Amino acid sequence: MSGEVPDEGASVSRHRNKRRHMHNGNVSTRPDYPVERAIALEKYVRYKFPLSLLGYRMYEAIKWLEMKKTGLCQLVFAGYDELASESRIDARNIKKSLVELRELGVMSVKIGTPIKNGGIATEIRRFTIAEIKQMHPHDDDAAKLAEKLRAMPFEFEGEKICPYWDEGITGRVSAKRPGFQTYNDLRRWKGLTRDIKPGMMMVYADVKQAEPTVIKHLLNLPLDTDLYGLLTEATGFNKKAVKSMMNALAYGKNSLAYFAHWPDKAKCDNTLRTYAELVQRYKTELLREARKTWSVKTLQGRLVTVIKDKKRLHAGRPFNWRVQGTIADIINPICLGLFDKAELVIPLHDGIYALLPTAIGETYVADLITEGARQIGIAARVVTQVKYGG
């Protein structure tokens, strides 16, 4: 037994059962309190947001304070001593847990200045599910898009297929059974454009070098910095190899350690060296931030839960999810909006296939992507491929 590692999930479960037992009397004396709605809110927050153990205890404690004092999602006033007693959190960690919940966007918190001396009470109000969704408007885009795609069979290579679509941790939506997105570009294009009706067109709009574009924005590098071109010139490698090297540099544990193994000509390029140094500095700071709540935010402000297995977290992973999550924030809402106009919509990482009436114009999808990127400050370059029916 002495060698066993405590299970944090089991600890939360035992604490939850104990709290229910302790407050059972309060539930029965407050018939006006909507217990089922309170439980639904708690489940929603726990599912959507990466609460630490301290954050979970405080969030549940505030539910019980609502039950005793006010009502569901109503203002609660409480001092540190009361909060510590209700949550079983050491008074020294009360502020930390409250700040965590406030930063996650699940409640408002106003801390009275003399609170440490037992003076003014802390003012707290949990947000309703509707308020949380309004504050995080893109949280459900991936789930909505996956659901719509699952209900939309389409013609591919002369046969009707209906892949199972699912959302990933970053918000990207992908297909399996069959793995449509794993097919090469030529096969996808030929399979989708085999039988296009007159008056219709298949459009594929794709953000050129999407991930490097977002990364350059994060690092405040000029958009016209051609990192791929510089690395190609320095190494003579093909496009696929260069892309693999750039991804490993960006998303690996240690960018500078990986950069040290690049060919000498690449290591001597000042722009590439500066890029490697900036990436490593940014990743290190982001990792420090991510470890506080085990989450990162995209440029749109959407929360991405970092990881369940905290032991495996390294600097490249939060960076990867911020970059890919930002691209998903651009692509997903555009796909959802296209369902009203297109007979077929298929997301592909940083691009979109759409079967549209020719009258709508072949730049329509590209213009939507460009504007969506511009709204979060990114100057994206979008290329379009079109095939007309008839």
**For range 106-120, the mean pLDDT:** 64
Q: What is the pLDDT of residue 20?
A: 45
Length of the chain: 390
For residues 11-21, give the mean pLDDT. Answer: 43
Would you state the pLDDT for residue 137? 65
Quick: pLDDT tens for 127-140. 998 888 777 766 67
Cα–Cα distance for residue pair 87/83, rounded to 1 Å: 6
Q: Which amino acid is at 155?
A: E
Give the CA diameter of the chain.
Answer: 79
Tell me the pLDDT band of 22, cut-offs 50, 70 and 90: very low
Asked if pLDDT for residue 150 goes beyond 90, the answer is yes
Question: CATH assignment of 8-135, given 3.30.420.40, 1.20.900.10, 1.10.10.10, 3.20.20.70?
Answer: 1.10.10.10
Q: If you average pLDDT over residues 178-185, what whole number do you get?
A: 87
What is residue 61's predicted lDDT score, i.e. its pLDDT? Answer: 92
| One-character DSSP codes across 122-177 | EEEEEPPHHHHHHHSTTTTHHHHHHHHHHT--EEETTEEE-PEEEE-TTS-EEEES
Mean pLDDT of 196-218: 94
Tokens of 275: 């890029």
Task: Look at residues 59, 70, 128 and name the one whose alpha carbon lies nearest to residue 98.
Answer: 59
Task: Tell me which H or E stretch contains 273.
Answer: helix 270-293
Q: What is the DSSP track for 196-262? A: PPTTEEEEEEEETTHHHHHHHHHTT--TT--HHHHHHHHH---HHHHHHHHHHHHHSS-HHHHHTTS
The yes-or-no verdict on residue 30 having pLDDT over 70 is: no
Q: Indicate the average pLDDT of the chain.
A: 85
Exposed / middle / buried, residue 380 (Cβ in 10 Å: 0-12, 13-18, 19+): buried
Tens-place pLDDT, residues 49-77: 767 888 889 999 999 999 988 899 999 98
Q: Where in the chain is the domain with CATH 1.10.10.10?
A: 8-135
* Contact (Cβ atoms closer than 8 angstroms) between residue 216 and residue 247: no
pTM: 0.70
Position 189 confidence tier, pLDDT thresholds 50, 70, 90: very high
Range of lowest pLDDT (105-114, 147-156, 168-177, 215-224): 105-114
Q: What is the pLDDT of residue 179?
A: 86
Residue 133 sits at the vertex; the CA angle it makes with 130 and 136, to the nearest 5 degrees, is 155
